[in-house]
Amino acid sequence: MDDLKSHIREIPDFPKPGILFYDITTLLQNPLALRMTVDRFVWLFAQRRIQKVVGIESRGFMFGPIVAYDLNAGFVPVRKPGKLPAEKVRETYELEYGNDTLEMHRDAIQPGEHVLIVDDVVATGGTASATARMVESLGGVVAGFGFIIELTFLDARKKLAGYEVASLIQY
Ligand code: AMP
């Protein structure tokens, strides 16, 4: 998918020194690249009877609802702490330095629902696996993960072993 890759903007030292940030806004602003991205996820998961697409804050919100709409599924946001107003589940996971927490509404997933989890970039897989634990704690079935970009050298697939993982662009 090198044609999609050409729409990713690479920004060195953002948000801090040493990080090469992969910016998907340049992909989203291109009509054909946006359509190809959404269509690719829909094609990959159309047979999986997806009932909810779970998007991870904040860039999972930028295309997750379009994928959900096209799969005839609902959309569920996973957010940073303190943003969601109703009863929540939360999951804390380790980062390179320190840890982070994510929250999801308790009534967002019904037991047995088939769930697709989406985000812009998968790096270590920590964010994605924490999200899967929340979905599963509510009785949801994680049918797969969809990432626009996968940083393969960080080996997220090891952390997400046993799940179907789809990425459109690899570095
Ligand atoms: P991880 O939990 O290590 O897989 O990190 C994934 C989360 O961090 C995702 O929500 C990404 O949006 C973000 N992220 C990690 N690395 C990058 C990167 N190089 N460029 C843009 N976003 C990134």
List C-alpha distances in Å: 54 to 13, 66, 132: 29, 12, 9
Which among 16, 24, 93, 127 is the best mutation to test ligand 1's pocket, defined by most ligand atoms within 8 Å of the CB?
127
State the distance from the centre of ligand 1 to the C-alpha of 151, rounded, in angstroms: 9
For residue 61, is it within any domain?
yes
Q: What is the 3-state composition of the chain as percent helix, strand, coil, each rounded to the nearest 5?
A: 35, 35, 30
pTM over 0.85: yes
Q: Does 2 have pLDDT greater than 70?
A: no
pLDDT in tens, 122-133: 999 999 999 999
We report the CATH number of the domain holding residue 145 as: 3.40.50.2020
Give the domain range for residue 55. Answer: 48-170
Rg (CA), the chain: 15
pLDDT given at position 97 = 80
Over residues 140-160, the pLDDT tens digits come to 999 999 999 999 999 999 999
Query: Relative to the CA of 22, which ligand 1 atom is closest?
Result: 20
> Tens digits of per-residue pLDDT, 79-136?
999 999 999 999 999 987 889 999 999 999 999 999 999 999 999 999 999 999 999 9
CA torsion sign for 33, 108, 102, 160 is negative
Active site residues: 59, 96
- How far, in Å, from the CA of 67 to the mean position of ligand 1? 20
Q: What is the domain count for the chain?
A: 1
**How confident is the model at residue 89, as a pLDDT?**
98
For atom 23 of ligand 1, the residue with the nearest CA is 121
Q: Is residue 5 part of a domain?
A: no
